Amino acid sequence: EIVLTQSPATLSLSPGERATLSCRASQTVNSYLAWYQQKPGQAPRLLIYGASSRAAGIPARFSGSGSGTDFTLTISSLEPEDFAVYYCHHRYKWPPKSLTFGGGTRVEIK
């Protein structure tokens, strides 16, 4: 089973700063890497799919990159509503045989 390791666990930043979140896979994965945002008391929301494509309605300040085992979510300039927990996600084969989430990165206000 592929394990996704996110780092750091917590990122303390101020509004307007750049956030860089990492997701590392335990083995080389295809580009089926997605990122979700979850705010307290809410369901997750899809931000990025296919490693680098923004989902519908997602602001341009969110971008995804990476390949192989190393992937990055970048928030170019943090807005107050961006302070949340972010999860990466990978799906192996279809119908899914294995579908894993990373442990999450909390982006908190410094």
Partner 1 sequence: EVQLVQSGAEVKKPGESLKISCQGPGSNFATSWIGWVRQMPGKGLEWMGTIYPGDSHTTYSPSFEGQVTISADKTISTAYLQWSSLKASDSAMYYCARHSFDASGFPFDHWGQGTLVTVSS
Q: Does position 32 bind partner 1 by CB under 8 A?
A: yes
Provide, rounded to whole angstroms, the least separation between the CB of residue 19 and partner 1.
19
**In this structure, what token pair is assigned to residue 78?**
């943090």
Q: Does position 24 bind partner 1 by CB under 8 A?
A: no
**Scanning residues 57 to 86, which ones bind partner 1 (CB under 8 A)?**
none
Q: Does position 45 bind partner 1 by CB under 8 A?
A: yes
Q: Which residues bind partner 1 (CB under 8 A)?
A: 1, 30-34, 36, 38, 43-46, 49-50, 53, 55-56, 87, 89-91, 94-104
